[in-house]
Amino acid sequence: MRHSISQSKRIVIKIGSSLLVDDNAGMIHHAWLNSLIEDIAFYFNQNQEVIIVSSGAIAIGRRHLKLKDHALLLEEKQAAAAVGQIKLAHAYQEALGKYDISVAQVLLTLEDSENRERYLNAKNTLETLLNLKVVPVINENDTVATAEIRYGDNDRLAARVAQMVSADTLVLLSDIEGLYTADPRKEPKATLIPEVTQLTPEIIAMGGHSATQYGSGGMITKLAAAKIALESGCKMVIAAGKYLHPLKRIDQVKTKTWFVPQLTPKNARKNWIAQHLKPKGTITIDQGAYTALKEGKSLLSVGVIQIQGEFHQGDPISILTEDHKEIAKGLINYSAQDAKKIMRKKSNEFANILGYPGSDEIIHRDDLVLLAGEKT
């Protein structure tokens, strides 16, 4: 099967610092950036959704601050990022603005993907931006991240973002054309692997073990990103990014590596909910709600007759019938306290009861999975 960027519905594109910024001068490669944005505008105008994960803020900021060519201390990186991020965001705003495309800056830390409430807030923000036809530009929030809580590289950050928004394609633009059987800079006979469907120990070993650009600083992190992507049902491609129009080039050349999942993002998410999450509470529903769930609909509060347990927004919940049979699991949109307040109520009453509008669904159908034997 031939894989293609043009077939993708929601794309996350990771851009490395070395592609975007001249490391010596600390200046943005505007010709390259403009060609990339032209590609993005093409896909955007085909109603494809695009998220950019971009490095480069520290590289830009350190030159502006005239920091010497030494390994930066954490506080120096944070200062450089604070200065460079403004210049980086402006460059994207200017480039995308030529095509009348709105851009938003989003800064994330590791905690935003590990803490459930912050994860949901970040996810909802990104989903809203995409629905409003805005291109989010994401970077790690280096100004507040510490050595203990950093993603450490934007390959894995991009994979976490792809997982967060259920993207179907993750693009890692690299200084390497793809995954080789060995480091091609050291092994002339190394061959490119065009497609990977499973991250076997042999594939992982091809990432290398040295602290070179291809090793722990490069291909190893890309394989770590591939693991996250594949488990999320997201295709991932590693391709050379140094050329002009790097996105369109992916569909034009054979030299790249596609990582292909066994599941779609939706099915992978439901599999994760069903098999890997321990419920924090239970919700008992009436027959009408049970019928609605089997028809593929969301769970509404009007069909909830009992709530047990202490849980927070985004926690996994078991859904029971009136005879106490577990028929589904899902991620709830309300805390136990608020869910009890709106139980048996209609969504147009939520604002008066809770003091805020809230979600129409107790559990959205995309965050809900019927257990075996319950599908019609």
Full pLDDT tens readout for the chain, 376 residues: 578 898 899 999 999 888 998 877 778 999 999 999 999 999 999 999 999 999 888 888 888 888 877 778 888 888 888 898 999 999 999 999 999 999 999 988 777 777 777 888 899 899 999 999 999 999 877 666 665 445 557 898 899 999 999 999 999 998 888 999 888 888 888 899 999 999 988 898 887 653 333 333 478 889 999 999 998 999 999 999 999 999 999 999 999 999 999 888 888 888 888 877 789 999 999 999 999 999 999 999 999 999 999 999 889 999 999 999 999 999 999 999 999 999 999 999 999 999 998 889 999 998 899 987 665 4
Structure-block tokens of residue 257: 């590596």
| Cα distance between residue 190 and residue 156, in whole Å | 25
Contact indicator for 63, 85 with CB cutoff of 8 Å:
no
The answer to whether the beta carbons of residues 237 and 3 sit under 8 Å apart is yes
Spell out the residues 6+ positions from residue 211 whose beta carbon is closer than 8 angstroms to its own: 217
d(CA 279, CA 69): 51
Question: Residue 185: what pLDDT?
Answer: 80
C-alpha span between 50 and 41 (Å, rounded): 9
Q: Cβ(314)–Cβ(120) under 8 Å?
A: yes
Distance, in Å, from the CA atom of 50 to the CA atom of 168, rounded to the nearest integer, reads 11
Report d(CA 64, CA 340) in Å as an integer.
54
pLDDT of residue 376: 42
> What DSSP element (H or E) covers 116?
helix 116-131
The letter for the amino acid at 269 is R
CA 246 – CA 242 distance, rounded (Å): 7
For residue 252, give every residue at least 6 positions away whose Cβ sits within 8 Å of its Cβ, in sequence order, or none. Answer: none
Question: How many CA atoms are closer than 13 Å to the CA of 147, on its beta-carbon side?
Answer: 5
Confidence at residue 208, expressed as pLDDT on a 0 to 100 scale: 67
Element spanning 37, H or E: helix 30-44
Two tokens at 9?
Answer: 């519905």
- Bridge-partner residues for 180, per DSSP? 192
215-244 burial, b if ≥16 CB within 10 A, otherwise e? eeebbbbbbbbbebbbbbbbbbbbbbbeee
Give the CATH number of domain 277-370; options: 2.30.130.10, 3.40.1190.10, 3.30.70.20, 3.40.1160.10: 2.30.130.10
Beta-strand relationship, 304-309 and 10-15: unpaired
> Contact 91/60 with Cβ under 8 angstroms?
no
Residue 62: helix, strand or coil by DSSP?
Answer: helix
Query: How far apart are the C-alpha atoms of 154 and 160, rounded to whole Å?
Result: 9
Every domain range in the chain assigned CATH 2.30.130.10: 277-370
Domain ranges in the chain with CATH number 3.40.1160.10? 5-263
Take residue 371 and report the two structure tokens written for it. 């257990």
Architecture of domain 5-263: 3-Layer(aba) Sandwich (3.40)
